[in-house]
A and B are shown apart, each in its own frame.
Chain A
Amino acid sequence: LKNVFPDLGLQIITLSDLECDYINARSCCSKLNKWVVPEVIGHAVVTVLMLISLHWFIFLLNLPVATWNIYRYIMVPSGNMGVFDPTEIHNRGQLKSHMKEAMIKLGFHLLCFFMYLYSMILALIND
């Protein structure tokens, strides 16, 4: 029940994502791409920890998001500069879809945060 920690970094990402329109695409994308791998790893680790500690509900809740993260990371075309590509981010409404995705994730992590907090307090009381 020591799983409260991984969320802060992700929120920073979403915030910088929101900012995306204010800064130049090149630096925005490189900033965002830096966080993609930690996010994927962090989330995967949390998910696996849940599985190990046999918290089935939370595990199942996390699984789709973790899968999506990994899928997104793997499906980047070889010529692109990462999940966020500065040459394409302004095309085909990509900016919008990235933003939408970030918002959904933010909501998800907020939900998780309170759930973890609740279960942590519950665990402390039980102790």
Chain B
Amino acid sequence: MQLPSGYGSHPPNYSAPSGHYSQVPNKAGASHLDNQYRASYYPTYYSAPAQNVMTPPVGTSVLNTQESQQLYNKTPPHTGGSAEGPIQGAISSASYLHTSAQQSYSAFGNHYSTSVSSSVASQGFPLNSDHYTMPVVSSAVYPNVSYSVAAGSVYGQAFTSQSLPAVGQFKETNTFSSQSTSVPHLLQQHVPVGYNTTLSTISSAQSVQDNLCRNLTGSVAKVNNQINAGGIDSSQPVHPVSQSVLFTKPGAGTSVSSAVISSVRTPAPSLSSQPRSSPSVTQSPELALQEGMQYGGYVNNQASSAPAPLSSSSDDEEEDEEDEEAAIDSSSTTSSASPVLNNYDALEGGGYPEARSVTSSPVPAPSVPQTSKASKPFGYGYPTLQPGYQNAAPPTPVQPSNSGHHPGFQHYPQQYPGVNQLSSSLGGLSLQHSQQPESLRPVNLTQDRNILPVSSVPAPVPNLNSDLRKLNCSPDSFRCTLTNIPQTQALLNKAKLPLGLLLHPFRDLTQLPVITSSTIVRCRSCRTYINPFVSFIDQRRWKCNLCYRVNDVPEEFMYNPLTRSYGEPHKRPEVQNSTVEFIASSDYMLRPPQPAVYLFVLDVSHNAVEAGYLTIVCQSLLENLDKLPGDSRTRIGFITFDSTVQFYNLQEGLSQPQMLIVSDIDDIFLPTPDSLLVNLHESKELIKDLLNALPNMFTNTRETHSALGPALQAAFKLMSPTGGRISVFQTQLPSLGAGLLHSREDPNQRSSTKVVQHLGPATDFYKKLALDCSGQQTAVDLFLLSSQYSDLASLACMSKYSAGCIYYYPSFHRSHNPAQAEKLQKDLKRYLTRKIGFEAVMRIRCTKGLSIHTFHGNFFVRSTDLLSLANVNPDAGFAVQMSIEESLTDTSLVCFQTALLYTSSKGERRIRVHTLCLPVVSSLADVYAGADVQAVVCLLANMAVDRSVSSSLSDARDALVNAVVDSLASYMSTASNLQQSMLIAPNSLKLFPLYILALLKQKAFRTGTSTRLDDRVYAMCQMKSQPLVHLMKMIHPNLYRIDKLIDESTIHVNDRVVPQPPLQKLSAEKLTREGAFLMDCGSIFYIWIGKNCDNNFIKDVLGYPNYASVPQKMTQLPEVDALSSERTRSFISWLRDSRPLSPVLQVIKDENPAKTDFFQHLIEDRTEAAFSYYEFLLNIQQQICK
């Protein structure tokens, strides 16, 4: 921040590496030479299919100076900068006695070395205490504070290195690591190597032509439709067929006079009292015959899309620098920044005598320039006072001249909700200074019982300089498990933590800069979108931060519409925001943007009618019909099925909706292909009629079979011309036609501790169907509302691979199970009205040297880094695992970019781009310091799901436990002077064992407790597809005590006073009979009321005179005019507001049978089948010592 202008300093950042890279053809450059594309590399490259993200060649950029239509929402400058003053004061009031304070700023790969060091020198002793430890340290006296200095330059200088004594003990059996490399534990001279050594082989993926150009007429071209009308008659006793209609099949060229294809239902006698609800008998004989033409049009569209390579490169190059072990080097090289060199080892503190018998964790000094290392103050165990980690200077009067941001700290409003505003901003400030040391503070897990933070667990802030940190992507959208990226795969293996990203790319954002520009500036070789972390070499050129290619700045980009000035490309919104959305031009389209098309496939068998879900679905649809995202082209259709499939002709002009029954489920076809999906606005009355009639239409059905497979095939045929969304409501095991399933669950095995079978699909029918759908840009969303086993493991495939979503309502019944009914209602409201993106693709790019090897979530992986998402919704989360293919020694920063190209419901093609930037470190301690425990746990959960399906559940459980054991053992051996008999975790990972235990007690992974197979599979599906915030609530719910809310501290949100009770441990010991507790499980709130709960609370909040009169099933809090009621309700609604799905509330009395639901979430307690938290820790300790 000493830099005079925000980005003026960037060119020097990368000027050093440029020497390396300019020599060497980068990846795409190499592929250019690849003889596959030698002749026509660029043409093919740029004319990729629309699913691929593409631009015109940069050279053809149009000079467009008129940009009045651009929309920019500037992120407002951070508030809270004013907090700096008080903090400085507070810190200076703490009596530090530094006899020798020396510090070094080897900032960040040399970027700021000149400016920073000078400014810091003038600063004197910086504010290096952090606010967490202030009370503790305020009276401490530090006789020796000295700092050794890390090497100043990565690029030119060889490190002298010394290896740790205790490192040789690592087992190289990382359970999750796909490759276990043998790490030489050698003292080694480590010289950074350029990319010269790592020229990768290039392979380019070709187009997905097959998927796209599949014959769309295939669905129409079926000719052999021979149906016996008599069969229908006899099988439909309730709805006798009064009329048979002869259909002609369009598209087949000849009009095939098949036998009776469908029949029109007359109203059943029982329905005659409701004339509106009966479908009309009239059937217009003339069917649109131009269907073939219409299909043909689409075919043409598809065919004309040039099949082009998707041009993804994969590095098959193995890590040839694996033996280059820089991981444990601790540099003691001096640099000019620090005249005094201290041997920190000599200064290592002893044990802190009273509270902790643990000695400090003096981590060997890392060799990364950015982390200049400080030694411990003598006699004090916490490395919290180190000024060392600052790469940014402490707040000084010097302000960057750009855009009014306060340089002080990064402030994430979502991250620090509520009352902790002040403290979080304090925290934010202190994080900047000594967050790393704090996160490395050793925590003795077996002794420290209160490890939960007061409010929610914040995401660690990457240890970047404040300019970059300010620009970085919000952790809500984009999180990495390790915010300090290890330099080599060997180091990563040693840390025993998984490296991966957790993405929530389509999250609902309150503000998002939308950029309309005729040229979307991208790197010419790797196609990265321009982002805040690129460097401008001069006015006219910028250097890609992923592949390091130097690109030209197009003329249009020189003009900044925000300031209306010319010649400031680095101030464009693309370069000022790490999350932006581009309105894409027609180059990004393969076909005209599709309209929003919604198809509802409803189960109307006896089972479904009995459960009564139809009423809720139709009611919700009626209410939200106008709120369905879409434009004037929006289309909608309905299919119902039992043992036959029923279609509804809703063509405009009909007086009533027409039902068309197809009973030939072995060879399904569409009776009137063009009038089944109708324009929502033109046929609104008919749709409303149908929705009103539908719940009562099947009340007397005796059909128990379910032909889900054929109905899905029909739905696919109906959707394939356009793509869109299919919503399937299913209530039982499909029993007829293609895709029929058999019950595989053995109820006696539910609580087995040994093997849990049938976690995988039984048939590949649903998977194939999903892939077909995905190819036609159709997503299938599954709502399973069953009371019995329905083989979700097989059914879920239809959504998993078509990028749909899955909802499951076990033992659903409209009247017997009101909680589930309410949940369905709320879910549907959200489902129907939330944002939706069609025909989407997502590509994840990362800095050269990193590669993605596994994806988690609901999608189809089309090529090595391209995910095909037929639909994308704001509640979908994704995870990827990464590996380090090449050593990252040449770079101090790595970047990840997610680009999501989608068609909005308004028919606009848009690209949402998120970019995350993280520092690279070379010491193991720094890797631990940057670990993001929530992200690690979520990624491990995803991996464990994969493991339990591909191998076995017990394997997955073992792997989870091993993940904790290995990483903690590895950590303990880095901190050599820790007593081995203790179970020590770095502060950043102190919640790791707790979360893993919580995972093991999840429905997905638990054994010994009776768990229905479908419940288990559903929990697994959720782990794979939920974003981190929701998943963490599911894994580790938040427990609050709410009977004394008046006494709690409060915050003000929108004129409401919201109390902020502290988080409680998930243990029965925290529950008292006198209290009332709220548990926030993400999708459900439980309120548990103790037997002796204060009557005032029951009266005021619950609205009942005493405990006994509180009903068993209570799902709402009354509005009582009392302070405690108001506070409680405002707290609950505040919790609700923070998430898209509004959770169901359930009040549970102590003797209620439903209390097991509540108590199963108390994961720190012992159950008959699982450890308590303390036992679990002892178990881990035992395994570590073994």
Which residues on A are within 8 Å of B, measured CB to CB?
A: 21-27, 77-81, 86-87, 89-93, 95-96
Nearest chain A CB to B872's CB is how many angstroms away?
18
Chain A CB within 8 A of B444 CB: no
Chain A CB within 8 A of B775 CB: yes
Given contacts A78-B762, A79-B760, contact A21 B210 (CB under 8 A): no
* Contacts A/B (CB < 8 Å), 30 sampled: A21-B204, A21-B205, A21-B863, A22-B36, A22-B309, A24-B206, A24-B207, A24-B208, A24-B210, A24-B211, A24-B862, A25-B860, A25-B861, A25-B862, A26-B210, A27-B211, A78-B760, A78-B762, A78-B763, A81-B764, A81-B767, A81-B768, A86-B860, A87-B771, A87-B800, A90-B855, A90-B861, A91-B854, A91-B861, A92-B178
Q: Name the B residues within 8 Å of A25 (CB-CB).
A: 860-863
Q: Measured between alpha carbons, how far is A90 from B208 in the docked complex, in Å?
A: 15
Cβ-defined partner of B863 (8 Å) among A24, A77, A78, A87: A24
Chain A CB within 8 A of B908 CB: no
Chain A CB within 8 A of B903 CB: no
Q: Measured between alpha carbons, how far is A11 from B860 in the docked complex, in Å?
A: 29
- B862, A91: Cβ atoms under 8 Å? no
Q: Measured between alpha carbons, how far is A86 from B309 in the docked complex, in Å?
A: 18
Chain A CB within 8 A of B761 CB: yes
Q: Measured between alpha carbons, how far is A90 from B599 in the docked complex, in Å?
A: 31
Chain A CB within 8 A of B209 CB: yes
Nearest chain A CB to B847's CB is how many angstroms away?
20
Given contacts A21-B864, A81-B767, A90-B861, contact A96 B316 (CB under 8 A): yes
Q: Name the B residues within 8 Å of A22 (CB-CB).
A: 36, 203-206, 309
- A26, B775: Cβ atoms under 8 Å? yes
Q: Measured between alpha carbons, how far is A21 from B31 in the docked complex, in Å?
A: 13
**Which chain B residue shows the least CB distance to A27?**
B210
Q: Name the B residues within 8 Å of A81 (CB-CB).
A: 764, 767-768
Chain A CB within 8 A of B641 CB: no
**Which chain B residue shows the least CB distance to A30?**
B210
Beyond the given pairs A77-B760, A90-B855, 15 more chain A to chain B contacts, judged by CB atoms under 8 angstroms and listed by A's residue number, are A21-B204, A21-B314, A22-B36, A22-B204, A22-B205, A27-B210, A79-B760, A79-B761, A79-B762, A80-B767, A86-B771, A86-B860, A87-B800, A90-B863, A93-B178
Cβ-defined partner of B860 (8 Å) among A77, A87, A93, A96: A87
Q: Measured between alpha carbons, how far is A80 from B800 in the docked complex, in Å?
A: 13
- A91, B855: Cβ atoms under 8 Å? yes
Main secondary structure of the interface of B (DSSP, over half): mixed
- Interface code B744-775, partner A: CB below 8 Å = 1, 0 otherwise? 00000000000000001111100110010001
Given contacts A79-B762, A79-B794, contact A87 B210 (CB under 8 A): no
Q: Name the A residues within 8 Å of B800 (CB-CB).
A: 87
Q: Name the A residues within 8 Å of B204 (CB-CB).
A: 21-22
- B864, A78: Cβ atoms under 8 Å? no
Given contacts A22-B309, A26-B775, A91-B853, contact A79 B764 (CB under 8 A): yes
Chain A CB within 8 A of B614 CB: no
Chain A CB within 8 A of B1015 CB: no
Nearest chain A CB to B865's CB is how many angstroms away?
9
- B861, A87: Cβ atoms under 8 Å? yes
Which residues on B are within 8 Å of A, measured CB to CB?
A: 36, 178-179, 203-211, 309, 314, 316, 760-764, 767-768, 771, 775, 793-794, 797, 800-801, 853-855, 860-864, 946, 950
Q: Measured between alpha carbons, how far is A87 from B862 in the docked complex, in Å?
A: 8
**Which chain A residue shows the least CB distance to B764?**
A81
Q: Measured between alpha carbons, how far is A81 from B765 in the docked complex, in Å?
A: 9
Q: Name the B residues within 8 Å of A89 (CB-CB).
A: 861
Nearest chain B CB to A22's CB is how many angstroms away?
4
Q: Measured between alpha carbons, how far is A81 from B761 in the docked complex, in Å?
A: 11
Nearest chain A CB to B35's CB is how many angstroms away?
13
**Which chain B residue shows the least CB distance to A82?**
B764
Q: Name the A residues within 8 Å of B760 (CB-CB).
A: 77-79
Q: Measured between alpha carbons, how far is A23 from B206 in the docked complex, in Å?
A: 5
Q: Name the B residues within 8 Å of A90 (CB-CB).
A: 855, 861, 863-864
Main secondary structure of the interface of A (DSSP, over half): loop
Which one of B309, B763, B860 has the highest number of Cβ atoms from chain A below 10 Å of its Cβ?
B860
Q: Name the A residues within 8 Å of B775 (CB-CB).
A: 26
**Which chain B residue shows the least CB distance to A76?**
B764
Q: Measured between alpha carbons, how far is A92 from B775 in the docked complex, in Å?
A: 23
Q: Name the A residues within 8 Å of B36 (CB-CB).
A: 22
Q: Measured between alpha carbons, how far is A97 from B775 in the docked complex, in Å?
A: 26
Nearest chain A CB to B726's CB is how many angstroms away?
19
**Which chain B residue shows the least CB distance to A81?**
B764
Nearest chain A CB to B512's CB is how many angstroms away?
30
Q: Name the A residues within 8 Å of B793 (CB-CB).
A: 79
Q: Measured between alpha carbons, how far is A22 from B314 in the docked complex, in Å?
A: 11
**Which chain B residue shows the least CB distance to A99?**
B316
Q: Measured between alpha carbons, how far is A93 from B210 in the docked complex, in Å?
A: 24
Q: Name the B residues within 8 Å of A96 (CB-CB).
A: 316
Q: Name the A residues within 8 Å of B767 (CB-CB).
A: 79-81, 87
Q: Measured between alpha carbons, how far is A88 from B854 in the docked complex, in Å?
A: 9
Q: Name the B residues within 8 Å of A27 (CB-CB).
A: 210-211
Q: Measured between alpha carbons, how far is A26 from B208 in the docked complex, in Å?
A: 9
Which one of A77, A78, A90, A92 has the highest number of Cβ atoms from chain B below 10 Å of its Cβ?
A90
**Which chain A residue shows the least CB distance to B855?**
A91
**Which chain A residue shows the least CB distance to B794?**
A79
Given contacts A21-B204, A22-B309, contact A92 B853 (CB under 8 A): yes
Nearest chain B CB to A45's CB is how many angstroms away?
28
Nearest chain A CB to B313's CB is how many angstroms away?
9
Nearest chain A CB to B819's CB is how many angstroms away?
32
- A79, B855: Cβ atoms under 8 Å? no
Q: Measured between alpha carbons, how far is A77 from B760 in the docked complex, in Å?
A: 8
Given contacts A86-B771, A96-B316, contact A80 B764 (CB under 8 A): yes
Q: Measured between alpha carbons, how far is A92 from B764 in the docked complex, in Å?
A: 21
Q: Name the A residues within 8 Å of B209 (CB-CB).
A: 24
Sorted nearest first, the 9 A-B pairs with minimum C-beta distance are A79-B761, A90-B861, A27-B210, A21-B203, A24-B208, A22-B206, A91-B854, A81-B764, A93-B178
**Which chain A residue shows the least CB distance to B775?**
A26
Q: Name the B residues within 8 Å of A95 (CB-CB).
A: 864
Nearest chain A CB to B1045's CB is how many angstroms away?
47
**Which chain B residue shows the least CB distance to A78?**
B762
Q: Name the A residues within 8 Å of B855 (CB-CB).
A: 90-91
Q: Name the B residues within 8 Å of A79 (CB-CB).
A: 760-764, 767, 793-794, 797
Q: Name the A residues within 8 Å of B207 (CB-CB).
A: 24
Which one of A24, A92, A96 has the highest number of Cβ atoms from chain B below 10 Å of its Cβ?
A24
**Which chain B residue shows the least CB distance to A93?**
B178
Q: Name the B residues within 8 Å of A26 (CB-CB).
A: 210-211, 771, 775
Nearest chain B CB to A83's CB is how many angstroms away?
13
- A93, B853: Cβ atoms under 8 Å? yes
**Which chain A residue shows the least CB distance to B866?**
A90
Nearest chain B CB to A117's CB is how many angstroms away?
32
Q: Measured between alpha carbons, how far is A10 from B749 in the docked complex, in Å?
A: 44
Nearest chain A CB to B492's CB is how many angstroms away?
15
Nearest chain A CB to B780's CB is how many angstroms away?
14
**Which chain A residue shows the least CB distance to B950?**
A77
Q: Measured between alpha carbons, how far is A77 from B764 in the docked complex, in Å?
A: 10
**Which chain B residue shows the least CB distance to A24?**
B208
Nearest chain B CB to A73's CB is how many angstroms away?
15
Q: Measured between alpha carbons, how far is A102 from B764 in the docked complex, in Å?
A: 25
- A92, B863: Cβ atoms under 8 Å? no
**Which chain B residue shows the least CB distance to A79?**
B761
- A87, B801: Cβ atoms under 8 Å? yes
Q: Measured between alpha carbons, how far is A69 from B840 in the docked complex, in Å?
A: 38
- B861, A23: Cβ atoms under 8 Å? no
**Which chain A residue shows the least CB distance to B859?**
A87
Q: Name the A residues within 8 Å of B763 (CB-CB).
A: 78-79
Nearest chain B CB to A75's CB is how many angstroms away?
11
Q: Measured between alpha carbons, how far is A26 from B214 in the docked complex, in Å?
A: 12
**Which chain A residue shows the least CB distance to B860?**
A87
Q: Name the A residues within 8 Å of B863 (CB-CB).
A: 21, 24-25, 90
Q: Measured between alpha carbons, how far is A87 from B857 in the docked complex, in Å?
A: 12
Q: Name the A residues within 8 Å of B309 (CB-CB).
A: 22
- A92, B314: Cβ atoms under 8 Å? no
Nearest chain B CB to A12's CB is how many angstroms away?
18
